[in-house]
Structure 1
Amino acid sequence: MSESSKAIYVWGVFAASFFMRPIGSWLFGWIGDRYGRKTSMTISITLMAISSFLFAALPTYAQVGALAPFLLLAVRLLQGLSVGGEYGTVATYMSEVAQKGKRGFYSSFQYVTLSGGQLLASLLGVILLALMSKEQLQDGGWRIPFIIGGCVAILSFFARRHLKETLTEEDSKKEGSGSLKEMLTKEWRPFLLVVGFTSAGSLVFYVLTVYSKTYISSLGFSDKITGYMMTIALFVYMCAQPIFGIISDKIGRRASMLSFSILSAIFIYPVMVFGMHHFSYSPVIVTLLLIFLMMILSFYTSISGIVKAEMFPPYVRALGVGFAYAVGNAIFGGSAPAVALQFKNVGHENTFFIYVIIMLLICIFCSSKLPKKPKYLHHDD
């Protein structure tokens, strides 16, 4: 199997778990709207901890033969189920506990933690590459990040047990609460809008935070240097989220979404295709170019949760936010690295960014349909 084929296989497994996310978002969205946000978040983080430890304990091909890749896929699907349940309920909870007038700022911390996880993974990669040989990493060093991830999930579990519930008894007992049919029948317009701009937002997010590592390596940088570059870029990106959340509280969600989609459509091709190749001799300049695109992305990610939560009533909010996000994310976000590598495999890697721009044009249309003032949450005490 060629290196590119191996990479496509790896990203294919990565993408497969994303197709479990709509199921997870439906299941945990139903739990969140019917039995409480706290209950849903506690169960989902428990599954996440279990899947992390199962990853760390996976047998090798030498131990179980052809069963190994199937076990990997099974654990990855379990992880996808738990992650699918996380987004909608966490986004809903953070938007509901945030102070009026500062919801963009407070909800931005969802992506602080999400990008923080990627930063931790990147930092661990740098440390492990410095301390262990390639053979040692293949022999068992790769299990270390999953053990750490499982421990972090356990800490999160205990923290969530002390959260205050935001779902009211009235909303939990309302007819149709947590019902997928109710949400798709009565809230189909916001559902389609969320799917529309999530598709582009998730696509750009995974291009810049996941696929870009492969892309930058192809420019001639070593794995160690690429790791440093990604770690620095992700750190700046993580720190920028609250700033862009504050900006959104000032200019509005619609303006932030339009800023993301228009600026990304303008700059992603010239920066990724021309800029990074032209300055491929300088890791500093390439890192700055990546950070520039991540700052544009921050117009979306800083308000990703709140802009969706403000579109759905509380009795189907966790389901509406999570399921719409998961559908767009599964089809376009999770598949991004695999699709990009397929384009590269046939000699048309740059064409992939045309595909990204087309999705961003759809995002511009969907963003333009957002109301200037949110339908829900803005009037809450």
Structure 2
Amino acid sequence: MITYQVKLRKIGDMTTLPDSQRLFGFLVNNSKKCCSEDEISSFVRDVRMQNQNCMISNLMPLGYCPTPKNFIMQKLEKVLSENKKAIELYEEKQRKLKNKSKRIVNEIKNSDNNYKNKNKTIKEELEKIKNEFNELAIQINNLSAKNIYESIKSMDFVEIEGLEEILKLAERGKVVRVEDLKKIRHIKKTDNFIQKFLLDHQIKGVPGIPNIAYSLPILHFIDNMGNIQNEFSFFVRVEEESCISKCLEEIKKNITVREMPCFLGNKGSSGYNEYRIYNIEKQNNKNFEKRSNNEEVLINLGVLLPNIDNIDAENSILDIITSDRKPFEIENEIPKVISFISAGSIIKVKDGNINLFKIGKSIDNSKYNPLYENSIIFGNSYFVELEVK
């Protein structure tokens, strides 16, 4: 078995972030340069039958992974109760300061001229009270559960080391502050929409047909320092000498001379979703040389079609998405859609002897695509182990 990290640099604008299914299709299609049609068909069939091990992640900002937001908030529950106690103490101090300032103001109103002669000292004391009150307000906002949730919510991608650091904050049992979270390196995805027009009268050659307006999302990935992320990567875990392994080895050899251009999304003819593969690295395989154990926590990095019998759903935190693509099967004139476990979900396995490759599966799609005998819906996602207690 071998693990690759494929690094890409985006060229122009992105309208989508390619998922593991799209990347599987891209790699299989590029395998035609080094494998025959029969070899590719055999490989795809074996992936579906789980005779070939293959795991692929989504495309992600380089050095980052999807943030398991619900998992983090669950881990922070105990700490947030400590935050609440600290907030109550700060609020009590604020009430005392407020009462003290009211008392001083009332004394000024009822005092004689001698007390008023101390005007400068009184102003300094009131200013000191005001500063202490505002400082306490800052501390309260720093501990607020709402503000902590908003900070986590803004983290669409986080470094693995940063994620483990957040989890350590939860494990120590002390208060956690918004400023602690802001120090963690993370990325926020933003959408800007531009208006486009579909020129139906030109396409159909019929004058008078009105143009159709639609919005096109342009994605940007901005880190907590305000920098736009232009470099991305995805992970592939396959057997040596498989079609995808041969494809990646061929690309790896060629990019030493020239970076490989590729389109990983729609609107390629308009210049969108263009990338250049500039590096392919072989990774350390130690995490995959063993089977999963009952205490292991895995973070899902792709689109997972689960072998649900192998997953401890009760102790996992699963984010379910339904595909917005065409139905994968039509039976009795009824289209069927399919749901997946999305990237950022936390997986715990049922049995300590479960092979990581058996957590996901791929299914037959030839009923919808009769022209492709071995067409499949790829659902074997890539996982990373988290070190949590």
TM bucket, shorter chain: under 0.3
TM-score under structure 1 length normalisation: 0.25
Q: TM-score, normalised by structure 2?
A: 0.25
Judging by fraction of residues, say which structure has more helix: 1
**Higher strand fraction (1 or 2):** 2
Bigger radius of gyration: 2
